[in-house]
Amino acid sequence: MEIGKNSMTASLRGRTAIVGAADTEVGVVKHMGATQLCVDAILRALADAGLDKSGIDGLITCNSMAEPYLYHAETIAEYLQIFPRYCISVGAGGGTTFTALHQAASAIASGICHTVVIAMADSLRSGMSRQRALAMQSSTGHPQFERPYGAPVPGYYALLAQAHMHEFGTSAEHLAAVAVAMRKHAARNPTAQMRAPISIDDVLASRMIADPLHLLDCSLVSDGGSAVVVTSAERARDFKHKPVYLLGVGEGHAHEHISQARSLTTSAAVDSGRRAFDMAGVGPRDIDFAQLYDCFTPVVLIELEDLGFCAKGEGGPFVAAGSIDPGGPLPVNTHGGLLSHCHPGNPGSMFALTEAVTQLRGAAGERQVSQANLALVHAQGGIMSSHCTIVLGRERAT
C-alpha cells in the first residue's frame, strides 16, 4: 500500500480556493522587466480579488531567468513592502505553478498562513540575448551523458516524439494536429500571442528544429507574468468572485535527466494524475476541460494517455479526431497554450491556471466551455521529469 494513502486521500479536498487571478501583457513586453511583470501580476490579481496587499500573509514565487535573485520571493515582498509569515521561491521547471499551488494549499490547511499569492513572470523574449538563452538550454543536460552530444532542449523532446512514433505508429500529422488545435483555441482569445489559423500542412512545412519537430511543434518564447490569490474555503466566501476550489492534487517525480528515464513514452503523469483523481473523488470522464503543458506537441499526446483521457498509444488519433478542439469532448488549453498563447519559461503554466479559473467562473466569453464545472490542469518540469496534476471545481465537493 502507498505510504499514507488512506490518511491523505481527502486531506486537501475542498479546503482551499482561488479567489483572485490575473495575467499581465504577454508577447514582447519591452517596457517592463521580469521583476516589474511579477509585481504587476500580483497587483492585478489582488485587484481581481478585491484585496489590499496588507491582506497577504503568504507569498510564493519562481525565480526569473532574465532577472534572477538569490532570494526571489523575499525580493518581491520587499518590492511590494509586504511582510508575509510564509515566503518561498520554488522551482520545478514548467510544473512549478501547480507544485506552488500544492504548497500554498498545504500551508493554508495547516494554519501556517491564511492568504497566499502565487506569482511568476519572466522576460525570455526581450530580456535575454540569444547567447544567454543557448547557454541556459545547454545547462539542462546531464554534464556527462547528455551535454557532450550537444542536444538542445528541442532535441530531448524529439527523442520522446521518435520513441512514441516507433512504439505506437504516431505520425508527424498527429503531432501537427496538436499545434493546430491550440491555434484554434488561441484564435478565440484576444490576449494570445499567435492567433492566425494554421493547418497540418503549415506545421509540416515549417522549419525543422529537431527531427521530427518542426518550428510550429515548438512553444513560443515570450515575456509575461501571472498571479493567483489562494485562501481557505471558509474565507473564500467573503471575496467578490465565486471561489474556484482545489479538489485534488498529486505529484509524480520520475527522473531529472532524460538519459535516466525508465521510459520515453510513459511519464510520472500516471502517478500525479491518479493521486489527484483519488483525492478529488472523480475520474477522467468527469472532467469538462483540461489545461495541459504543451511545450512541444508530443508532450500533449503522452499527457492525454498517462492521465487516462485515452488509451496508451492512442493520443495521436484522439487529437486528430478533433477531441481537444473547441467544442470537442475534451477542450484542451482553451487560451491557446504554450504553443499559441505565450511561453515565458517556468511561469508558462500559470496562464493555464488563470484560464481554468476564468472558465470555471463562466467568464471566458467567446471561448467559454459549456458546462464548465470540473477542470484538470497539469504541468511537467524538466524533460518530462516532475509532474503535478490539479483538479479544480466550481463547487467545494463533488
Grid coordinates of 395: 463547487
Task: Give the span between the Cα atoms of 288 and 161, in whole angstroms.
Answer: 27
Q: Element (H or E) spanning 394, and its range?
A: none
Task: Give the span between the Cα atoms of 180 and 199, in whole angstroms.
Answer: 6
Grid coordinates of 218: 515548438
Of 27, 107, 39, 112, nearest to 72 by C-alpha is: 39
Task: Give the span between the Cα atoms of 12 and 309, in whole angstroms.
Answer: 24
CB 23 within 8 Å of CB 224: yes
Percent of the chain with pLDDT over 70: 94
In this structure, what DSSP letter does residue 272 have? Answer: H
Q: Which domains does the chain have, with CATH numbers?
A: 5-127+220-393 (3.40.47.10)
C-alpha pair distances (Å), 294 with each of 14, 182, 380: 28, 9, 9
* Residues whose CB is less than 8 angstroms from the CB of residue 306 and which lie 6 or more positions away in sequence, other chains included: 266, 267, 269, 270, 273, 312
Ranked by mean pLDDT, the top range of 141-155, 245-259, 313-327 is 313-327
With cut-offs at 50, 70 and 90, classify the pLDDT of residue 398.
low
* pLDDT tens-digit series, residues 339-381: 999 999 989 999 999 999 999 999 999 999 999 999 999 999 9
Beta strand ranges found along the chain (DSSP E)? 16-23, 58-61, 86-89, 115-123, 208-210, 213-214, 223-232, 244-253, 289-292, 374-381, 386-393
* Residues 225-249, mean pLDDT to the nearest whole number: 96
pLDDT of residue 133: 64
Task: Give the span between the Cα atoms of 324 and 302, in whole angstroms.
Answer: 14
* pLDDT tens-digit series, residues 92-126: 788 778 999 999 999 999 999 999 999 999 999 98
C-alpha pair distances (Å), 13 with each of 10, 232, 331: 5, 11, 24
pTM to 2 decimals? 0.94
Percent of the chain with pLDDT over 90: 84
Q: Torsion-angle region of residue 35: left (phi > 0), alpha (psi -120 to 50) or beta?
A: alpha
Task: Give the span between the Cα atoms of 295 and 380, in whole angstroms.
Answer: 9
C-alpha pair distances (Å), 258 with each of 99, 147, 264, 293, 297: 20, 11, 8, 17, 17
For residue 2, is pLDDT > 60? no
* pLDDT tens-digit series, residues 297-311: 999 999 999 999 999
* Residues 326-346, mean pLDDT to the nearest whole number: 97
For residue 26, is pLDDT > 60? yes
Task: Give the span between the Cα atoms of 101 and 390, in whole angstroms.
Answer: 9
Is the peptide bond between 344 and the residue preceding it cis, with omega within 30 degrees of 0? no
In this structure, what DSSP letter does residue 135 have? Answer: H
* pLDDT tens-digit series, residues 266-318: 999 999 999 999 999 999 999 999 999 999 999 999 999 999 999 999 999 99
pLDDT of residue 335: 98
Task: Give the span between the Cα atoms of 122 and 28, in whole angstroms.
Answer: 11
For residue 4, is pLDDT > 90? no
Grid coordinates of 93: 521547471
pLDDT of residue 151: 81
